[in-house]
Amino acid sequence: MGVGRINQNSGYGQGQIGAMPYTTGKIFLVVPTTASNYNDIQQLYGYYPGGKAALYTTPTLALAQCVAGQNDVILLHSAYTTALTATELLNAETKGVSIIPISKSQNGIYSVNKATATLPESTQGALFTVTGRIKLISIIGEVTTVIETQANNTKLIANPTVGADVDLCAALDITAGAVGTNYNITGTLANALVATVSGAGVYQASPLIIMAGTIDLDCAATNTGSIKWTVNYEPIDEGARVIAA
């Protein structure tokens, strides 16, 4: 791809180049200096012929290097968690630049995990941060520590940066949820959170459009117990992502 410093004939170099999206333009990386592997990335990705750098710390800086109509691509490091601004989105659209998260995807669907955590105590707590609009394909929770035997009406909520909260499902009493119990939604907002206690369950039937903000878990009571979560989604806006909160 023309990016400096990688030996493209080495196994590692071939793997790096092969993992990049194909484009007739240039590929730029956006990595904040706070990323744990920033120095490694800085060593790997140098300059294109002519002196144009491949690595930048913000989308604005990377977009300034993009040429309209060239099909340039910007890759966002997972440590870059800031939502793209309206100006950045317009600039990307005007220049025809694709902005893509650097994370595993299959057919354009991305998966992100939230490590197991205790339940919010009689309140709602953020599970995931959403930057830009996404299509929520599924959200699945799995009990890893048995939930206390005590009534606890629980639901998932879209908590937007702009606007009012929207319940993604009606509440379900999750009292005494056993280890291995899965929780998911149907995609119909009026339907209750679904609990599956056996080896199979029903996948989310309808995707949902989620705005920038957070996806929250809301618990009516204070119960012990722990749940891990997985979200599958498609970006709608350029650079839109879901990040574990």
Per-domain boundaries in the chain: 11-102, 106-244
pLDDT value at position 134?
A: 95
pLDDT value at position 20?
A: 67
Whole-angstrom distance, CA of residue 27 vs CA of residue 22: 9
Q: Taking the chain (245 residues) in consecutive chunks of 10 residues, what is each chunk's mean pLDDT? A: 48 55 85 91 84 92 95 89 86 91 78 94 96 95 97 98 96 97 97 91 93 97 97 91 90
Q: Which CATH number fits domain 106-244: 2.60.120, 1.10.1740, 1.20.1270, 2.60.40?
A: 2.60.120
pTM tops 0.95, yes or no:
no
At residue 51, φ and ψ (nearest 5 deg) are 95, 5
Within 10 angstroms of residue 53's Cβ, the number of other Cβ atoms is: 17
pLDDT value at position 103?
A: 72
pLDDT value at position 153?
A: 98
